[in-house]
Amino acid sequence: MNLSLLLFLIGILGFILNRKNIILMIITIEIMLLSGTLLILIMSFGFDDNVHQTFSIYIISESVLGLSILVAYYRLRGTISLRS
């Protein structure tokens, strides 16, 4: 659980420090999501519950959706810079 908290704090710190680069912002959001997923998986193994494992797969699929939106934005605009 401490590893999950550490990863989440690293993600928040990275998001605050890198507000101008969209790739780094998305990577830090991914770190925060995956730290939450890690915590859910640890709890599901502890309680022997398969529902939370399914929920963690759902969270990972949402992160894939976010990255695909970034790729579509890059193809539309030609750049991923937040400055126009």
Mean pLDDT computed over 8-19 = 88
pLDDT at 82 (0 to 100): 63
d(C-alpha 9, C-alpha 58), whole Å: 22
CATH code: domain 2-77 is 1.10.287.3510
Sketch the domain layout of the chain as residue ranges.
2-77
d(C-alpha 84, C-alpha 81), whole Å: 7
> How many CA atoms, within 13 angstroms, populate the side-chain half-sphere of residue 50?
0
| Residue that wins the pLDDT comparison between 84 and 14 | 14
Helix (H, G, I), strand (E, B) or coil at 81: coil
Measured CA distances, 3 to 6, 9, 63 (Å): 5, 10, 20
Average pLDDT of the chain to the nearest whole number: 83
Give the length of the chain: 84
- Model confidence, pTM: 0.71
